[in-house]
């Protein structure tokens, strides 16, 4: 009896470092499986292979096979030649707002976004700030290789675990965004109003984007004289 290939099957077929070098695949399958047969656009930042245009693209091919109805879009700082009937690659800087806006306009909107780019902490934060507002409602934003949050060479800090400059702490702050209704006063930000879940795994994070309109369940004390 035929069994539908899993994401791990495709990861092994194409040799993506999302399995082996890392162990992301089970987490991706858990969060991405509901989208498998949907028609949508996926964006992955970072094609792989560094400066060689002939190298990289393993995960783009994996996504193309796993999502049979999706268009797969890649971004890389270097020129990349990745062939595929539903694969499209752009060359540009992941922190360049004008470039990213053009990609979204031409190939988006995106339902799934994966940041597997430079892994520089400042880049991760800036890219999220640009792209998250463009992510479709009901979509997921994934960030890989969060180990660089502890690496000084990437702008991380292994001594100050509360530093606001690391990508990991930036993503941790989204937990407060999910619970903004529990804070009194102030106007909620776009991210607060559109983030309903944040899931952390080893060096990996998923952010769920939906309308966050759950009210607080705090029972406020009655004032003297109230009925």
C-alpha to C-alpha distance for 200 and 147, rounded to whole angstroms = 12
* The pair of three-digit structure tokens given for residue 208, joined into one six-digit string: 């769920």
Residue 91 contacts residue 63 (beta carbons within 8 Å): no
Instruction: Point out the catalytic residue in the list 119, 123, 194, 199.
Output: 119
> How far is residue 172 from each of residues 45, 109, 200, measured CA to CA in Å?
21, 26, 9
Total residue count of the chain as it appears in this document: 227
Is 22 known to be catalytic? no
* The pair of three-digit structure tokens given for residue 224, joined into one six-digit string: 């003297």
CB neighbour burial string for 36-70, b if at least 16 within 10 angstroms, e if fewer: eeeebbbbbbbbbbeeeeeebbbbbbbbbbbbeeb
Residue 104 contacts residue 92 (beta carbons within 8 Å): no
* The pair of three-digit structure tokens given for residue 96, joined into one six-digit string: 């360049």
Which positions are annotated as active-site residues?
A: 119
């Amino acid at each position: 009896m035929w069994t539908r290939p899993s994401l791990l099957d495709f990861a092994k077929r194409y040799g993506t470092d999302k399995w082996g070098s890392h162990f992301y695949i089970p987490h991706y399958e858990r969060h991405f499986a509901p989208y498998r047969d949907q028609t949508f656009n996926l964006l992955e930042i970072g094609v792989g292979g560094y400066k060689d245009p002939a190298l990289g693209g393993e995960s783009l091919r994996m996504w193309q096979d796993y999502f049979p109805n999706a268009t797969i879009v890649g971004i890389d700082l270097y020129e990349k030649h990745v062939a595929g009937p539903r694969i499209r690659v752009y060359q540009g800087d992941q922190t360049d707002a004008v470039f990213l806006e053009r990609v979204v306009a031409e190939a988006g909107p995106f339902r799934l976004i994966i940041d597997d780019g430079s892994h520089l902490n400042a880049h991760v934060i800036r890219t999220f700030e640009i792209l998250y507002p463009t992510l479709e409602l009901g979509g997921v934003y994934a960030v890989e290789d969060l180990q660089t949050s502890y690496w000084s060479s990437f702008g991380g800090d292994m001594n100050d675990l509360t530093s606001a400059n690391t990508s990991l702490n930036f993503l941790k702050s989204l937990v407060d965004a999910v619970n903004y209704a529990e804070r009194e006063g102030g106007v909620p930000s776009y991210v607060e109003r559109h983030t309903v879940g944040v899931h952390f795994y080893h060096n990996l994070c998923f952010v769920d984007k939906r309308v966050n309109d759950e009210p607080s369940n705090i029972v406020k004390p009655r004032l003297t004289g109230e009925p």
